[in-house]
Chains A and B, each alone.
Chain A
């Protein structure tokens, strides 16, 4: 077996192996259905009622439901992938991952894909129930663009999650605080529940470093072309998302290597209770 083929085999098997516990967990611990579907729907509903009370355009209800669905992916990246290395370190699994001749990105990708299954159910449920309860209708003007934007958003988003995860190789609770710190500001800056354009050009431009900001904006434009709340042209946003995807994955790869080496040097790679 050539070196490349051997490495690829290990990579693919690692992804499947690490995704497996998450997929199995979905079947064996069904309580997630309540926590992942019903509760997020309540938060989304609150924004819908606010817009309705203010007499906003009907498209805003659709914006909120779509934002509510995409929130699931951000939460998944933050809590089920980035911070997962913290738990793996505490339980002793991280050391076992690290002594295996496999890629750290493969392990994170496995976590991401496994977690994505539950997240997608949550996102679909929010979309479906939101549509049924609030009578939201989506008119997809271009399925190809929609799927491409969605795919690129996820790649860039999970790339960003891998960058955050690398911090946990070196840090413990300090990195946990970083995740806490990111949660709420990103809710604001990425425009989960409102069009990002309303923040003004420069803040929106800065917020575009968060992949979900542009992803959400582009998807809203594709689903509601007549609303006129788009920040940038869909084509430009798609291009930026493609660039972010590559850049974040490359940075994640380098960060994982670099911080692992620093942690090995400082003796913090497997230290628990940090």
Chain B
């Protein structure tokens, strides 16, 4: 490779063999990743955006040497993750959102110190970094608190701090703000941005299903669904693909079937959900004129318009455009109609 990418994958695939239920014969296969080709540059804050179960965590596990691919290859900092996992480990760290770390009997700083020892850090350096990171995540006053006294959010913050302690060249953040409150999420996002910008050569690969997070943080974003990379570009360029299209979000009284909306001329892409007693419809239209047909169709189905909003393209719309359904938790309720 002439240019050393922070992360590079070639035709990467992962298939899981799953035991079938009692009475069924053989193994069931689940394709978690399929023909994934990625190139993440050094110093980049790269986002992997996709819904739950899209394959994001599987990809992170392969890149952090916790899982081997069933096809293709992957390199981290130019090192093959299968052939030389130990060299990869010297350069990386990982934080999984919603996770804790360490032991309840230890204090916050003792837990973090323990993890620094696995990277061979001398105690002075370790303590300086721990102090710094505890201030970043707002846990400095809890340094001497035993971990079992921490709230879930605080434990997550401690785990977030752990990820930075070995000053990794490439950091994998798997849904780092999952389940955190708005203020904490904002603090961590600001730090993530600062960490990459102020330290040339550091790279972050971040997975998220929060489109705003990907939009705000990432230099480039790859959209992944059902194990496949559907698009990869800067957020601005991805959104440009919808330039000229008109994007509307409608709330209506409950509707039974939405199939006919997709057939309407002028509708480029469409996703609809039932939520809290109403139906939400997201349209990407060729132009505003197509909205008349949408409203006529709504009336014909006996639905009433509750609200209508036109907005600029977001990554969410890009996702809807690519796969025909929404992305975030909010848009993936149990009753997805189409």
Q: Which stretch from B85-93, B222-230, B275-283 is at the chain A interface?
A: B85-93
Distance of A10 Cα from B105 Cα, bound (Å):
24
| Nearest B residue to A1, CB-CB | B120
Q: Binary interface profile of A, 5-39, with partner B (CB < 8 Å = 1, else 0)?
A: 01001100110111011001100110000000000
Q: A13-B117, A21-B103, A21-B105 are in contact. Are A267 and B67 (CB under 8 A)?
A: yes
The reply on B152 being an interface residue by CB < 8 A is: no
- Contact in complex: A102, B96 (CB < 8 Å): no
| Contacts between the two chains (Cβ within 8 Å), count | 92
The reply on A58 being an interface residue by CB < 8 A is: no
Chain A residues, Cβ within 8 Å of B175: none
- Contact in complex: B118, A100 (CB < 8 Å): yes
Q: Which stretch from B58-66, B202-210, B299-307 is at the chain A interface?
A: B58-66
Interface residues on B, range: 35 or more
- Contact in complex: A29, B100 (CB < 8 Å): no
The reply on B231 being an interface residue by CB < 8 A is: no
The reply on B99 being an interface residue by CB < 8 A is: yes
The reply on A229 being an interface residue by CB < 8 A is: no
| Nearest A residue to B103, CB-CB | A21
> Which one, B64, B101, B118, contacts A92 given CB within 8 A?
B101
By DSSP majority rule, is chain A's interface helix, strand, loop, or mixed? helix
Chain A residues, Cβ within 8 Å of B290: none
- Contact in complex: A24, B105 (CB < 8 Å): yes
Q: A18-B114, A101-B89 are in contact. Are A264 and B68 (CB under 8 A)?
A: yes
- Contact in complex: A270, B117 (CB < 8 Å): no
- Contact in complex: A98, B114 (CB < 8 Å): no
- Chain A 173-211 residues near chain B, CB threshold 8 A: none
- Contact in complex: A99, B89 (CB < 8 Å): yes
- Contact in complex: B105, A29 (CB < 8 Å): yes
Q: A6-B120, A16-B117, A98-B66 are in contact. Are A24 and B94 (CB under 8 A)?
A: no
- Contact in complex: B101, A96 (CB < 8 Å): yes
The 3 closest A-B pairs by CB, nearest first: A17-B117, A10-B120, A100-B118
Subset of 14 A-B contacts with CB under 8 Å: A13-B121, A17-B115, A18-B117, A20-B113, A25-B103, A91-B100, A95-B94, A96-B115, A97-B118, A98-B66, A101-B86, A101-B89, A102-B120, A267-B14
| A residues lining the B interface (CB < 8 Å) | 6, 9-10, 13-14, 16-18, 20-21, 24-25, 28-29, 91-93, 95-102, 107, 261, 264-267, 269-270
